[in-house]
Amino acid sequence: MSKLHELFERQGQSPWLDNLKREWLISGEIQQWIDAGVRGITSNPSIFQKAIETSEAYTDQLAQLVTNGVSVEDSYWELVLHDINSALGLLQPLFDESKGTDGFVSLEVSPLLARDTQATEAQARSLWDRVNQPNLLVKIPATQEGLPAITQMISEGRSINVTLIFSLERYAGVMGSYIAGLEAALANGIEDLSHISSVGSFFISRVDTEVDSRLRANGSSEALELLGTAAVTQGQLAYTAFLETFSGTRWERLAERGARVQRPLWASTSTKNPDLKDTLYVDSLIGPNSVNTLPDATLRAFDDHGTVKRTVDANPDEAQRRWERLGNLVDLDDVARVLETEGVQAFEKSFVELLQVLTVRCDQLRK
């Protein structure tokens, strides 16, 4: 049994692949990852920027789109949806076998809409309807403007991956938005809630990058002692919040109608600091009813030398004390604000740059 299989079979955590490109769909590499234990796929604008800019595998389809007079932005969506649909087909057997627990592929709305609730709702609805597959998760960012869109989409019975979560406060809002959406779905006449799924994507490594830079600037012995601890600590506290939120009377009423918990998904789990173990953000956040989406290099590293052991809730009291110590040294609310802004901007940049590249390619194909 591979460690990826073991992670799910023994600990109840689903490993997903945080990458998607057409060469892998053509070569069979995606299927190989599924056979090795991968239980879902996530994508984002940066992933598709790399995939499309560095590959000739999209040229024939793009040429046909140009011939048909399709606009550059619409061509982007056609290229992306082709890959998403192919991946959905490969994961459909797992989706069926797991009774809708895994086998998902995530597709993100345009990052240019991150601060526009109504436009996010409209595009999420459009993408969901165009794909029309039950194992699609439409990704909506956890901006303040994204929260009502999450509630609205869930209320309509659409499955959502909430992305770019950087703080415990915002995570509480995300879980609340999901539960409110389920309650609205019931009110809208959706009697079986089991067909609605969601994950809350909590970003991990970027937290350490930002907090550690501030700890180094502080320079005290306590600050230096806490280097490399913020991301895992916050993830562990998020898991505690998850357990508390999806229990009690309010949740049980929904669970009786088939509602599924909104699993925490650990994202950005490759270590950016070479001084840290390359599987730190996998080894330290293992627990049931959770997901970890990993770049292929981190998947390989974990399968080679990771540790399969329940760790995410091993010592919540210690995690709380450590978080309080960090909060005395660093403005953690400001960290979250900075990371959300940077996260949205990074995806916007990838999206805009890819459209610029596609514009040039389309012009070349017209000649």
Q: Are 143 and 164 in contact (CB under 8 A)?
A: yes
Return left, alpha or beta for 114; rule: phi > 0 is left, psi -120 to 50 is alpha, else beta: alpha
Distance CA 158, CA 128 (A): 7
Tell me, yes or no, if 139 is annotated catalytic. yes
The residue type found at 146 is G
Q: Which two tokens stand for residue 209?
A: 């990058």
Distance CA 306, CA 11 (A): 14
Distance CA 343, CA 358 (A): 23
The residue type found at 366 is R
Catalytic residue among 139, 272, 309, 349: 139
Nearest to 323 by CA among 236, 194, 195, 198: 236
| Tokens 């240019």 belong to residue | 112
The residue type found at 251 is W
Q: Which residues are catalytic?
A: 139
